[in-house]
A and B are shown apart, each in its own frame.
Chain A
Amino acid sequence: MAYSFEQHKIVGAIAADDDYWRGLEDGVFKLPRCDRCKTWTWPAHFRCGHCGSWDFEWVALEPKGKIFTWTRTQYAFDRVLERKEDVPYVTIVAEIPEANGARVMGLLKGDESGLRIGADVRGTIDPPSAKSKFYPSIRWNIER
């Protein structure tokens, strides 16, 4: 299967997270854990800084977390103009307890009530679209 994000690759950063995006396109939320020392490494990288291993296991997780922080964007910024008509929108950084508190970004889905640091969130996966630069994306719903 050809993945959408691979045809629209965002370059310039470390970009060791291809398996994260592949996972989301396949409908699975996965984060990387060192094969040898079992340290969660997020954002993904090419080598485990703890033990020196080059191998990671991408572990499928339930997309459950807690809001670590958030912002409501009130202006259409240059490189994310695809979302112009969605302004204002809320982006959440969620901590994933199952992955030693790895923090994963995603837009808020659904209504804003209960938006606060520490609130429980559950992720759903949106397929690639122009708004997410043809990448799949996790969206965080506030659990009430």
Chain B
Amino acid sequence: MSKFRGAAAIVGIGQTPYYKRATSPEPEVKLALRAITAAADDAGIDVRDINGFVSYASERSDPAKLMPALGTREVKFASLVWFHGGGLPATLNIATAAIMAGQADVVAVYRSMAESSSQRLRVIVAQNDTSSQYLVNGLDSPAQILALRAQRMMEFHGVPQSALYATVQASYYHAKNNPRAYGRNTEMSAEIYNNARMISEPYRLFDCSRENDAAGCVLVVSAERAKDLKQKPAYILSAPMGTMEGGGALEENWRPYYATAGQTELAERMWRESGYGPKDVDVAQIYMNMNSMGIGAMLDHGFFAMEDAGAFCTFDNLTAPSGKLPINTSGGDLGEGFIHGFGLVPEAVRQVRGTSPNQVPGAKLSLVTGGPGDLMSSTALLGSEETL
């Protein structure tokens, strides 16, 4: 049995409101402070006792900036996960490993983003490592680059537009019940979806995630410590990270899995380590930088085969409370708001606690997947005490 499985748990969550990009009344660092202090309050932990800090990608609110304002007693561990949104669930891996190795006791996992303090998210996420092969040929943003994969998924593998639309419909349906959701008042219908402007074909506007200003944080402690705190713990059963053979910085030369999310081997490792499989999952928060990539993530996790994507991805199957696989129950990256996917983690925790705005009754196993198609990605399975 893996020593990692269930060794640590998420015991606190904190989120600022989602603001329209570039309109946050507060700068990035202040948003980070708000999310971290809210997570500490939620957990019933003195914020000064946080001694580990973990984030990912281009996060700039580093612990050096935060500790004077948090009153941090000592930073004992700090780490940033490579690369982009693929690093999201891997933060839980790093936090758990640090706790297991005795390097930290209370780890804040967080992400903060305010365009007014930095620059356009889609520019900053690129971290200036986009190769000349793309830029010379008119390709800059993730929307365009992932559109190449979506085109292959749809035209070559035959995944229908209806599957993409179902993810949009489910996201906005869930957002309506979530007072935090930036898209809670956005009306959605097939007509609105189809008539929205094209961004980079085959993606229409609503196939793409938003960009928002906001911050979020979750607190990770040992399973032992989690028992004595205020909230019902969400145990981290597995949170593998990695890139499979045939991946890496290969500029559209990934083989053999081009059109999906590059998460097949990650998912297999997660099922092995957790002892569960796709049929056991109650609810899933699927990272959707672009929705076809999220469909790729569900494929890679074994929820359905490529030829069944159209039949599986329907509004009924993807929505709470009783769909086969309710996804993005806070509205997710499309409907709730987007700060590099971070909102998916607190929502996965709420499902285990039983406090989601779109609760799946009795949810015990809660999945959160990382940025699909990223150069390195990760995925995580959270569970209630009875899943240990």
Q: A interface vs B, CB < 8 Å?
A: 5, 10-15, 17, 21, 42-43, 68-75, 77-80, 83, 86, 88-89, 91, 93, 102-103, 105-107, 116-117, 132-133, 135, 137
Is A13 a contact partner of B139 (Cβ separation < 8 A)? no
Residues of B within 8 A of A93 (CB): 148, 252
Is A71 a contact partner of B130 (Cβ separation < 8 A)? no
Residues of B within 8 A of A103 (CB): 251-253
Q: Which of B109-152 contact A (CB under 8 A)?
A: 120, 122-123, 126-141, 143-144, 147-149, 151-152
Q: B interface vs A, CB < 8 Å?
A: 120, 122-123, 126-141, 143-144, 147-149, 151-152, 155-156, 197-202, 249-253, 258
A86 to B139, CA, bound (A): 13
Residues of B within 8 A of A75 (CB): 143, 197-200
Is B148 a contact partner of A78 (Cβ separation < 8 A)? no
A70 to B138, CA, bound (A): 12
Is B136 a contact partner of A71 (Cβ separation < 8 A)? no
Is B200 a contact partner of A105 (Cβ separation < 8 A)? no
- What is the predominant secondary structure among interface residues of chain B facing chain A? loop
Given A12-B128, A91-B144, A105-B133, does the pair A80, B138 have CB atoms closer than 8 Å? yes
**Chain B's nearest CB lies how many Å from the CB of A107?**
6
Residues of A within 8 A of B250 (CB): 43
Is A106 a contact partner of B152 (Cβ separation < 8 A)? no
B132: contacting residue among A17, A74, A83, CB under 8 A: A17
Residues of B within 8 A of A69 (CB): 148-149, 151-152, 155-156, 252, 258
Residues of A within 8 A of B200 (CB): 71-75
Residues of B within 8 A of A71 (CB): 139, 144, 147-148, 151, 200-202
**Chain A's nearest CB lies how many Å from the CB of B385?**
45
A107: contacting residue among B129, B137, B199, CB under 8 A: B137
A106: contacting residue among B127, B137, B143, B197, CB under 8 A: B137
**Chain A's nearest CB lies how many Å from the CB of B121?**
11
Chain A, residue nearest B254 (CB): A103
B139: contacting residue among A11, A15, A17, A80, CB under 8 A: A80
Is A78 a contact partner of B123 (Cβ separation < 8 A)? yes
Chain A, residue nearest B146 (CB): A71
Given A74-B197, A78-B141, does the pair A12, B130 have CB atoms closer than 8 Å? yes
Is A42 a contact partner of B253 (Cβ separation < 8 A)? yes
Is A10 a contact partner of B132 (Cβ separation < 8 A)? yes
A93 to B254, CA, bound (A): 12
* 4 extra A-B contacts, CB within 8 A, seeds A75-B198, A91-B138, A103-B253: A43-B131, A71-B144, A105-B133, A137-B136
